[in-house]
Amino acid sequence: METHISCLFPEILAIIFSYLDVKDKGRVAQVCAAWRDASYHKSVWRGVEAKLHLRRANPSLFPSLQTRGIKKVQILSLRRSLSYVIQGMPHIESLNLCGCFNLTDNGLGHAFVQDIPSLRVLNLSLCKQITDSSLGRIAQYLKNLEVLELGGCSNITNTGLLLIAWGLHRLKSLNLRSCRHVSDVGIGHLSGMTRSAAEGCLSLEKLTLQDCQKLTDLSLKHVSKGLNKLKVLNLSFCGGISDAGMIHLSHMTHLCSLNLRSCDNISDTGIMHLAMGSLRLSGLDVSFCDKIGDQSLAYIAQGLYQLKSLSLCSCHISDDGINRMVRQMHELKTLNIGQCVRITDKGLELIADHLTQLTGIDLYGCTKITKRGLERITQLPCLKVLNLGLWQMTEIKGLGMKRNEPSLREV
């Protein structure tokens, strides 16, 4: 008996269509009525984010999205009122407005005029006209918000953080990258240090403070006292923090990932404080901290030996530091030592002998290594990625290895 795909039940078609990419999901809906009906099943579109250009009125747009169960939206260009989106999708869960430069406090204020309990994720990154006034609206009407992205919103101040600390008690992730007006006072608000005015965002698990230049070690004291659930902390390019601040962080038992990239005042002493505490870090980035040397690697081996990812790019480390570290780092899977110009083939041999779980290593700009050292590295049993930057990217797949090793001349 001959069978045809048209004989399949709509539920089976929906399962098949769910594996297609977004464009193809839209295309199958145009084949015939049966496929259209199957493709509109909510299981086909589960987790999909609609990417929209809002240029002119389209009465069928939001009913179509709701029929398919789509609750995540990214606005690529905003030439209509934001309230048009909110009214059209009353059960929206995620709203991405990243890069909508023309979004203003006024426009956001007209959109958020009542509670939106379904909204969990809001991305306002690079919406440079947004100020503390918008954060007041968000804190008032988006009480269930869990993720708030404010990277590049350079008009945000400590007052805005006070409003967030007052209204967004369920917030789990907050990005304040390059919010350069934010200071220790604002971090104190988030950490619940001003309980008379705001309870704080004590459920925060991820906090990005990259390039917040006004922060000092006092902010780290606030964080360590109030944000006990924090798992990921990004302090990269925060030039005002120092080794003393690491004492406060060293007892944050839930902290898994710490980024200190380009924190110029962090030295071996700071790493010592981290290693002597009760941290259980799985990821540490101290790249471009030019006061980090071989002694830090010894401290890491003593107290941070459970690391799975370690970035030391452009640090003043040598083969001696590698020798002090490798015998204890049995769980390390990613090692970034690009631009560490004192590393030689000897260091690579130590890595190859002891860091047998490595899946990726960055050696970009390590000018003293030769083909001999690279050959030892490529013998690591789990290695998948060898990054030599501008010269070569090598991928090694399982036992049937495909190696495209650079010649000595290319290195």
* Residue that wins the pLDDT comparison between 2 and 252: 252
- pLDDT above 60 for 393: no
Q: What is the pLDDT of residue 81?
A: 83
Tell me: pLDDT of 404 over 60.
Answer: no
Q: How many residues does the chain have?
A: 411
pLDDT band at 62 (very low <50, low <70, confident <90, very high): confident
Count of CB atoms within 10 A of residue 9's CB? 9
Higher per-residue pLDDT: 195 or 345: 345
Tokens coding 41: 């099943």
| CA 154/CA 113 separation, integer angstroms | 24
Q: Which of 100-109, 241-250, 354-363, 400-409 is predicted least confidently? A: 400-409
Percent of the chain with pLDDT over 70: 92
The pair of structure tokens assigned to 381 is: 């049993």
Q: Report d(CA 356, CA 374) in Å as an integer.
A: 15
Residues sharing a CB contact under 8 Å with residue 374, sequence separation 6 or more, in sequence order: 348, 363, 386, 405, 406, 411
The pLDDT tens digits for 138-157 are 999 999 999 999 999 999 99
**Domains located in the chain, CATH noted:** 1-46 (1.20.1280), 48-241 (3.80.10.10), 248-396 (3.80.10.10)
Q: What is the pLDDT of residues 155-174, one digit of tens each?
A: 999 999 999 999 999 999 99
Range 226-248 average pLDDT: 97
Q: At what angle do helices 158-167 and 132-141 cross, to 10 degrees?
A: 0
How far is 315 from 293, CA to CA, in rounded Å?
Answer: 6
**Position 43 pLDDT exceeds 90:** no
CB within 8 A of 2, min separation 6: which ones? none
Q: Is the pLDDT of residue 1 over 70?
A: no
273-314: pLDDT as tens digits: 999 999 999 999 999 999 999 999 999 999 999 999 999 999
> What pLDDT is attached to residue 389?
76
Average pLDDT over the chain reads 89
Q: Are strands 94-96 and 334-336 parallel, antiparallel or unpaired?
A: unpaired
Strand 385-387 and strand 393-395: the pairing is antiparallel
Residue 189 has pLDDT above 60, yes or no: yes
pLDDT in tens, 21-34: 777 777 877 788 77
Percentage above 90 pLDDT, the chain: 72
Per-residue pLDDT band for 390 (boundaries 50, 70, 90) equals low
Token reading at 184: 């220790």
**Residue type, position 5, single letter:** I
Torsion from C-alpha of 371, 373, 379, 383, nearest 10 degrees: -100
- In angstroms, the CA 193 to CA 273 distance is 24
- Reduced DSSP (H G I as helix, E B as strand, rest coil) percent helix, strand, coil of the chain, to 5: 35, 15, 50
pLDDT digits (tens, 9 = 90+) for 69-123: 888 999 988 877 888 889 888 899 999 999 999 999 999 999 999 999 999 999 9
CB-based contact 297:324 (threshold 8 Å): yes
Residue 31: count of CB within 10 angstroms of its CB: 11
Q: Lowest-confidence range among 38-42, 160-164, 205-209, 305-309?
A: 38-42
Instruction: Provide the whole-model pTM.
Output: 0.88
Phi-psi region of 332 (alpha: psi -120 to 50; beta: other; left: phi over 0): beta
Using 50, 70 and 90 to split pLDDT, how confident is the model at 4? Answer: low
Close Cβ partners of 329 (under 8 Å, ≥ 6 residues apart): 300, 301, 305, 307, 310, 354, 355
pLDDT of residue 3: 66
Note the Cα 88 to chain centre separation in Å: 30
